[in-house]
Structure 1
Amino acid sequence: MSMRTAALTLATLFSAPSEAFWRMPCPGRLVQERIDPIVDPGEVSGHVHTVSGGSGFGFETSFEQQRQSACSSCPIKPDLSVYWTPKLYYMAEDGHFEDVPQAGEGEGVTGGMTIYYEQRGGPDDDDLKAFPPGFRMLAGDPFVRNATDAEAAPGKAVSYACLDYTGPAHEETEKMPDYNCPNGLRAQISSPLAGTSHMAYPIGAYNNGRCPDSHPHHLISIFYEVIYQTNLFADRWWGDQQPFVFAQGDRTGYGFHGDFVNGWAPEILQDAVDNCLSNSGKIADCPVFANDLYTDEECQACRLPTQIDEQVTGNLSSLPGCNPPTNGPEYATPQSCKTPEISSPTQYFTNVIESLGWEYQGCASDDIASRTLTGGFTWSDDMTVQHCIDYCKGEGFSLAGLEFANQCYCGNDYANQAAAPDPKILGNCWQPCAGNDQEVCGGSGALSVYKSCDGDACSNAVFHVNGTESASSASGGSSAEKRKRHIHKHAHGHAKFH
């Protein structure tokens, strides 16, 4: 073979759809609570999930609902899908639990995940199809506690990478490794590739095999990566097993899983499947959406308020829900117990309409180089909502914005209208006020904005979660058998193909 022929062969290989993929780092998350509209639609889920994607998400969601999302915590704007994986916890020797942060998390920044879209046509180089409207999928099984057959999956579709950026590389494992990972633990799962009304893993290779005759439609595949900062607990190991457990009580890691509800504009995803043929993985190298991306700041501002009055982070006496830690190898039995109700969404403002005659406008973005409110400014270690409003009112301004717990900005209009509060976007206002930790005083680059108003015209900007404007009740808990049936029904996906 000549060098020219070899070069052409190599070029063809690397440009083929079977080698192409794009990597979508989701820098933020929507919400973290017991929610799973695939397995437990309309009810409190059995265990805690971390959710990233389009803001149309709720305890019940659909393709149409996701397409109405006002924002996404993932960067590709045409993708308003939603992705979720289980929360990881540290289990102490005395039996209490602590949440394990995800990569990038801290100081108001939420940790997300990385989603790969892989164009693998299998040994026959099949034409790949985009996910159809209504498509939803559960990859993996939360109650598996042992290695399973690779073709039946999850099997080798679930894996773990022990991250060590300075030491020797570790081989990937099928379960959580029993040794410390200096730079954290990366959990990974591949989705099924082949479909009819339901999904199946390919024959021969879970990630690039031949579709079975029963599932002839070869879809683009999703690969989830979530990095957990297990290294923060390096000096707190005990016993002869790693000290971590997933939210569903899984001590092994075999029960890692990833859920997906499609929110792509169908024609755009198919265009990307057909024409995003780079093997760099960079979304900037895909001409279909390279110039249609959310910034990291916009992704961080795309959040949903919690709707379950339940602690899921910090120090916990037990895992949220009924999830006793189990090691298997037997299939874990879903447990039933009483759960909290789904309530109205948590609101992150103080109602001062009656006391001060000011209404909450929402969470605005701000930039140190280009302030959103350019009138007066003050700061105080005793900052509260009333403190800021009193100052701005005294200076003759009608807008008061609180930022970073102790700062107060004033104005009569927004210097940058693009930074004004959007009632459909919750924003990055999360920090307790320096003078009252029961109130919220903005965040980093985010302003909790109040405006003077007049009598009956006053109205706070109340944030609604799609599909849950009226609280539904799950006070009796969801049935364990019902949950088990849902898992088997939706493992590993369903939709109509044409």
Structure 2
Amino acid sequence: MPCPGRLVLERIDPLIFPGIVSPHVHTVSGGSGFGFETSYAQQRASACSSCPVKQDLSAYWTPKLYYMGKDGSYFEDVPQAGEGNGVTGGMTVYYEQRGPDPASLLAFPEDFRMIAGDPFQRNFTGQQAAPGYAVSFVCLDYSGTSSYSTEMPNQNCPDGLRAQVYFPSCWDGVHKDSADHKSHMAYPIGGHYDNGACPESHPNQTISIFYEVIYQTDLFADRWHSPEHHPFIFASGDRTGYGFHGDFINGWDVTALQSAVDTCTNDSGNLADCPVFADLYSDAECQACKLPPSVAEPTTGNLTTLPGCNPVSNGPAYENPITTCPVTPIGAPTQYFTDLTSALGWEYVGCANDSMAERTFQGASTSSNTMTIETCIAYCKTSGFSLAGLEYGSQCYCDDKYYQDPSGPRSPVPNVLGDCWQPCAGDGKQVCGGSAALSVYKSCEGGKCVGNDLFRVNGSSSAATTTTKRRRHLHGHGRVRL
């Protein structure tokens, strides 16, 4: 299951650090019900997913990888495969029917969650101790021979570095979670982390899941400080790679997953060959499924320190968690629109899809290197139209209706943030759509503005609780004020 987009990139981890800011940055894919606290019900209420299977609204996340300047002088984010020009990189999640009796494999139950790997591990644990070979790396070379290792390799990888983590598949059959989020699960016995029989303590075998994340380390091939050691570091401060890890919170329609486990046995591995998954989100829909960050700190670009409190660690000693870090508050979600209901009588209604072949708004258009939202609204109002859409920072389109696309509606999807992220050419503090994406404003004349109910949140509770509610409601159900 290739997940072509990411949901959010920030210090968030509701499994290990519920209700507070996580110590290090994670890249998250999956259902938009995700928040600083989340549940099975919340994930099932997601309005969209950055992964294609509509019956799967689970949450999947792994640590961010950075390039480290010489002597830790600065840190620069390493893009994931497919990332760039506003497109976010995702991951691939495999669901594998492994074990001595594939016919008896179980889907994950409701409220199930687990982790694989340990962010503080800094050496190889051996074949018999987790995670062992369950965490590994492949140095990709598509024109030659790719190489495998259990640590980040000290060689340039011509086509990027693939990080891998295999989850345990043996369940105790009772607990859907545990205090360490591991003890209710176990790897198969016999020294094979990815196959084999289950131990008596954990006799129930589930479907196996396995994450792959490809980092574009090849972009830094000419920036190695030493040919003897790679210049990369995970968000947790780990330079060894042994601390790579994955987190999973189940958001599946359990009946659908069990049906797929039982019936989808085509060796092709293609989602299209599984009739249970007849209706999939498109790549564009996956890319449009995003959450606004709520931790007020940069996580990309050139950083003087790793976000959080994460000293550089080369191992081999186990890295104990830092307990003296200052508390970082959860803030208001980043706002990707400008509220002009009071000032101009036009309200933001969301991010709409566009196409160069057949424009969503066809009434009138203009472009300017000084474009702002106010400029576009004024142009559309003077031209006699009630809808204004801004795209690609400098373009403005007007109409009274949305083009009816045979392949699906062009109008904004309620509770889906979309791909509107690009700063306006005339005001970098405003957002003017994106590539093939329109920031849409609607005239309130002749009617009542609803006050951007789908994009504004009210709240007077604590930051953690308020932000959780924001995310739950914005991408889950109902109309709330953002």
State the TM-score, normalized to the length of structure 2.
0.90
Query: Displacement, 1:463?
Result: 3.2
Aligned to 1:368, what secondary structure does the other structure show?
coil
Residue type of the partner of 2:403?
A
In the TM superposition, what are the counterparts of 1:114-193 in structure 2 within 5 Å? 114-122=92-100, 125=102, 127-167=104-144, 169-193=145-169
Which 5+ residue runs of structure 1 have no aligned equivalent?
A: 1-23, 476-498
In the TM superposition, what are the counterparts of 1:196-211 in structure 2 within 5 Å? 196=172, 197=175, 198-204=184-190, 205-211=192-198
Contact kept, 8 Å, 1:151 with 1:202, in 2: the verdict is no
* Corresponding residue to 1:101 among 79, 83, 88: 79
Residue type of the partner of 1:116?
Y
1:225 and 2:212 matched: yes
* Corresponding residue to 1:299 among 286, 298, 313: 286
Cα distance in 2 for partners of 1:50, 1:182 equals 23
Cα distance in 2 for partners of 1:35, 1:424 equals 20
Cα distance in 2 for partners of 1:242, 1:142 equals 19
Query: Displacement, 1:419?
Result: 1.5
Cα distance in 1 for partners of 2:11, 2:461 equals 15
Partner in structure 2 of residue 457 of structure 1:
449
C-alpha distance after superposition, 1:267-288 (max 9, x if no partner): 0000000000011111111111
Partner in structure 2 of residue 237 of structure 1:
224
Cα distance in 2 for partners of 1:392, 1:407 equals 12
* Corresponding residue to 1:403 among 391, 398, 407: 391
Which 5+ residue runs of structure 2 have no aligned equivalent?
A: 176-183, 466-482
Cα distance in 2 for partners of 1:125, 1:76 equals 22
Cα distance in 2 for partners of 1:324, 1:426 equals 34
Query: Displacement, 1:149?
Result: 2.7
C-alpha distance after superposition, 1:284-342 (max 9, x if no partner): 111111x2100000000000000010111111111111100111111111113113211
Counterparts in 2 of 1:133 and 1:366: CA distance versus 1, 3 Å = same
Taking only aligned residues, the RMSD between alpha carbons, in angstroms, comes to 1.7
Count of residues in Structure 1 that have an aligned counterpart in Structure 2: 447
Pick which of 267-276 and 170-179 moved more. Answer: 170-179
Cα distance in 2 for partners of 1:57, 1:213 equals 34
In the TM superposition, what are the counterparts of 1:472-487 in structure 2 within 5 Å? 472-473=462-463
* Corresponding residue to 1:91 among 68, 75, 88: 68
Residue type of the partner of 2:41?
E
Partner in structure 1 of residue 478 of structure 2:
none
Contact kept, 8 Å, 1:344 with 1:469, in 2: the verdict is no
Counterparts in 2 of 1:471 and 1:248: CA distance versus 1, 3 Å = farther
In the TM superposition, what are the counterparts of 1:27-426 in structure 2 within 5 Å? 27-95=4-72, 96-122=74-100, 125=102, 127-167=104-144, 169-196=145-172, 197=175, 198-204=184-190, 205-239=192-226, 240-289=228-277, 291-336=278-323, 337-416=325-404, 418-426=409-417
| Deviant stretches of 4+, over 4 Å | 468-471
Contact kept, 8 Å, 1:151 with 1:201, in 2: the verdict is no
Contact kept, 8 Å, 2:36 with 2:464, in 1: the verdict is no
Query: Displacement, 1:406?
Result: 1.0
State the TM-score, normalized to the length of structure 1.
0.87
Contact kept, 8 Å, 1:343 with 1:472, in 2: the verdict is no
Counterparts in 2 of 1:463 and 1:151: CA distance versus 1, 3 Å = farther
Cα distance in 2 for partners of 1:439, 1:301 equals 19
C-alpha distance after superposition, 1:129-175 (max 9, x if no partner): 000000011011110000013332111001101011113x1331000
Cα distance in 2 for partners of 1:329, 1:316 equals 26
Residue type of the partner of 1:434?
A
Partner in structure 2 of residue 480 of structure 1:
none
Cα distance in 2 for partners of 1:228, 1:311 equals 19
Cα distance in 1 for partners of 2:20, 2:460 equals 13
Cα distance in 2 for partners of 1:458, 1:121 equals 55
Query: Displacement, 1:472?
Result: 3.6
Query: Displacement, 1:46?
Result: 0.9
1:429 and 2:420 matched: yes
C-alpha distance after superposition, 1:90-136 (max 9, x if no partner): 011042110100000011100000000000023x5561000000001
Cα distance in 2 for partners of 1:248, 1:180 equals 22
